[in-house]
Amino acid sequence: MRANNQETNRDFVDVQIDERTLREIYLPAFEATVKEAKAYSIMGAYNKFRGEYLCENDYMLNKILRDEWGFKGIVVSDWAAVHSTAKSLKSGLDIEMGTPKPFNEFFLADKLIAAVKSGEVSEKEIDLHVKRILRVLFQVKAMGGGERAKGSIATEAHYQDAYKIATEAIVLLKNENNALPLKLDGVKSIAVIGNNATKKNALGGFGAGVKTKREVTPLEGLKNRLPASVKINYAEGYLERYDKKNRGNLGNITANGPVTIDELDPAKVKEAVEAD
C-alpha cells in the first residue's frame, strides 16, 4: 500500500493527503483486492504517509487494512523498507524482505530476538504474526497436506486477459477534430515516426518489470490492423542515446542513471520529414 505516485525520493517522501483523496483515489483498488479478490498478502511501500513509514503505519495496516476491510493475510515489506522492530510488528507488518545486508542484521532478525528477550516485544505479539503466516501457508497448501492447485504461465487465456485489460484501460485525453478513430477513406499511406513505435517495453527490471513472451509494438499493431492498400512509412527520426559520463543526481527522475543526449541527427530528421 503506497498512497504515492512519484519515484523521486520515493524511499522517504512523506505523503500528506486528505482523507477524501485517500479514499477516492488511492484505496479503492486495494480494497477491491482484499474484499473481492481475497488477497493473501499485501506489500507495504517505502515512503511515509502522514509522518509514518508505510511498513510501520498503524492507520493503514491495522485500522484500514485489517479492522475496516477484514484482511486476514500477511503484510510483507518492500525490499529494505523496514525502519524499526517493535513498531513495525505492532503496526501490522508480518514479514521483512531485503537484500542490501546480511539477514541477521534485518530489523526482524537478531534485533527481534533481542527485543523479545528484553521484553520490548511480547511472545503474544510474535504468536500473532506467526499465526498469520501459518494460516496463509495452509491456505495455499504449502504445508499441512492437500494437493495444491496447479497454475499456468503465459497461456493464450492470459494473453487475451492482458489484451482486454489494455483496451479497457486506455484513456483518450484529447481527440481534436475527431482525428480518432482513423478514417481510412482515401488514405494511401501513413507516416509513423519515432523509436517508440518499434521499441519493446516489457524488458523486465526490478519488481516493476514485466517479462512477456508476446508484445505487440505500435508499428506491428498498425500493420496488423490496417488494410494492405495502406502503405506504412516508418522513420526512426532520432537516436536514443545517453551520456555515460554525465549521470543524474541520486533521487531525481533519472534515478542516478545516464542523462539523455538531446541532439538530433540531421540524417534521421530528414528521413522523418520525407516520410508520408
Asked if pLDDT for residue 157 goes beyond 90, the answer is yes
Instruction: Read off the pLDDT of each residue in 55-72 and give the average, rounded to a whole number.
Output: 97
Stated pTM of the model: 0.70
Instruction: Read off the pLDDT of each residue in 223-235 and give the average, rounded to a whole number.
Output: 93
Determine, yes or no, domain membership for 175. Answer: no
Determine, yes or no, domain membership for 23. Answer: yes
Asked if pLDDT for residue 164 goes beyond 60, the answer is yes
Instruction: Read off the pLDDT of each residue in 37-50 and give the average, rounded to a whole number.
Output: 95
Known catalytic residues are 78
Residue 131 and residue 22 share a domain: yes
Distance separating alpha carbons of residues 187 and 182, to the nearest angstrom? 10
Determine, yes or no, domain membership for 202. Answer: yes
For the chain, percent of residues with pLDDT exceeding 90: 59
Residue 111 and residue 208 share a domain: no
DSSP state of 196: G
Determine, yes or no, domain membership for 117. Answer: yes
Instruction: Read off the pLDDT of each residue in 237-254 and give the average, rounded to a whole number.
Output: 67
State the total domains in the chain.
2
pLDDT value at residue 150? 85
Determine, yes or no, domain membership for 149. Answer: no
Instruction: Read off the pLDDT of each residue in 80-108 and give the average, rounded to a whole number.
Output: 94
The more confident residue out of 250 and 192 is 192
Residue 133 and residue 18 share a domain: yes
Residue 18 and residue 121 share a domain: yes
Residue 240 and residue 185 share a domain: yes
Q: Give the CATH number, domain containing residue 21.
A: 3.20.20.300
Instruction: Read off the pLDDT of each residue in 129-133 and give the average, rounded to a whole number.
Output: 97
Q: 16 CB contacts (<8 Å, ≥6 apart)?
A: 50
- Cβ atoms 44, 80 nearer than 8 A: no
Residue 248 and residue 196 share a domain: yes
Asked if pLDDT for residue 99 goes beyond 80, the answer is no
Determine, yes or no, domain membership for 160. Answer: no
pLDDT value at residue 7? 77
Instruction: Read off the pLDDT of each residue in 51-79 and give the average, rounded to a whole number.
Output: 97
pLDDT value at residue 172? 85
- Residue 234's domain comprises 180-274
What mean pLDDT is reported for the chain? 88
Determine, yes or no, domain membership for 61. Answer: yes
Determine, yes or no, domain membership for 53. Answer: yes
Residue 255 and residue 196 share a domain: yes
Residue 122 and residue 234 share a domain: no
Distance separating alpha carbons of residues 153 and 141, to the nearest angstrom? 19
Q: 2 CB contacts (<8 Å, ≥6 apart)?
A: 26, 45, 47, 54
Give residue 237's identity as a one-letter amino acid code: G
Asked if pLDDT for residue 269 goes beyond 70, the answer is yes
Asked if pLDDT for residue 185 goes beyond 70, the answer is yes
DSSP state of 91: T
pLDDT in tens, 209-225: 677 788 889 999 999 99
pLDDT value at residue 43? 95
